Amino acid sequence: MSLRVLRWTAAALVAAVFLAPLLWMFAGSFRETSALFRGGPWSWIGGDGWTWDNYGEAWRRGALGRASLNTLLQVAVIGGGGLFVNSMAAFAFARMRFAGREALFAAVVVFVILPVEVLAVPLFFTARDLGLTGGYTSAMAGLTLPFLAKAFNIYLLRQHFMALPTALEEAAVIDGAGAWRVFWNIALPAVRPALATVVLLDVLTHWSDFLWPLLVATREETRTVQIGLANLFTQPPVDWGAILACAVMATLPVLLSFRLLQRHLVLTDTGAGIK
């Protein structure tokens, strides 16, 4: 019995360590800046100095309306378009026979470990040469196009396509289905959980993109949420309350998409699959 109590106390304590920073962020977004760093450790829960103003200030100074739309668009294009492009390639690697398949796939595997940071600078020039920087449409294309095809996603989806039984595919082929029909009507629906995982990982990754938007989305109208937040933080006067409000607003959409896609999350093959 006492062991049980001990276990629950430990659980509560560890949970508190993981939650406290995020709870402080949320509570702090409703506090006047002057009250944020004042008083004892528990002052952020009680006391005075509560306000709604941070949200208005953050929305205005971070140009959050536009920035949120930009980021949503960016994440939607990468998530949706990438899913299409990567699942097609993964399907070919998993279910089709063609010359040079092993060599091509080995090249894809090498790209999996290639860090974005190595590529960022030369990629910036490629994007500029292709006219993917500057104006609104160009910069949005620059934010999204380079990240549609992703080696890791091809790799992960291939694992799932390979696990499908051949019987399904054979039956469809006998009924006269072509490669596209097999892919679109049979294989894709069968790996839906993997698709959800890939989309969720893309949303999480690109929602927090920082280095790349810092390079290509430099104009005010192309700013993403994270850049807007960082600007609030680096350009004086620093209004801590507004920064926290902005941080909360930048977090809600990912929480929401996580909530929506969470049931489908499968990390099994990422864990067991890489050789």
| 37-76 positions binding another protein, by CB under 8 A | 37-41, 44
Distance CA 116, CA 73 (A): 21
- With beta carbons less than 8 A apart as the criterion, state whether 71 and 208 touch: no
What is the smallest separation between the CB atom of 56 and another protein, expressed in angstroms? 19
| 190 contacts another protein (rule: CB under 8 A) | no
Question: Shortest Cβ distance from residue 62 to another protein (Å)?
Answer: 12
- Distance separating alpha carbons of residues 188 and 193, to the nearest angstrom: 10
From candidates 2, 4, 97, 175, binder to another protein by CB under 8 A: 97
Q: Which is nearer to another protein, 221 or 274 (CB)?
A: 274
User: Whose Cβ is closer to another protein: residue 121's or residue 163's?
Assistant: 121
d(CA 266, CA 201): 11
Check if the beta carbon of residue 199 is closer than 8 Å to that of residue 83.
yes
115 binds another protein (CB under 8 A): yes
Question: Contact with another protein (CB under 8 A): which of 30, 36, 68, 188?
Answer: 36
Question: How many residues make contact with another protein (CB under 8 A)?
Answer: 92
Residues from 198 through 217 that contact another protein (CB under 8 A): 204, 207-208, 210-211
Residue from 13, 17, 103, 106 touching another protein (CB under 8 A): that is: 17
Q: Which two tokens stand for residue 218?
A: 């430099």
Residue 85 vs residues 144, 147, 164: alpha-carbon distances, Å: 13, 11, 20
Question: Count of residues for the chain?
Answer: 275
Query: Applying CB under 8 A, does 98 fall inside the site for another protein?
Result: yes
> Could you tell me the smallest distance in angstroms from the CB atom of residue 162 to another protein?
15
Choose the stretch contacting another protein; rule: CB under 8 A; options: 52-60, 133-141, 188-196, 245-253: 245-253
Q: State which of positions 224-243 bind another protein (CB under 8 A).
A: 225-226, 229-230, 233-234, 240, 243
From residue 133 to residue 172, the character string flagging contacts with another protein as x (rule: CB under 8 A) and all else as - is ------------xxxxx-x--x---------------x--
Structure tokens at 197: 């995982």
C-alpha to C-alpha distance for 58 and 239, rounded to whole angstroms: 9
**CA dist list (Å): 34 to 54, 239, 248, 249:** 12, 10, 19, 21
Which tokens go with 210?
């920082």
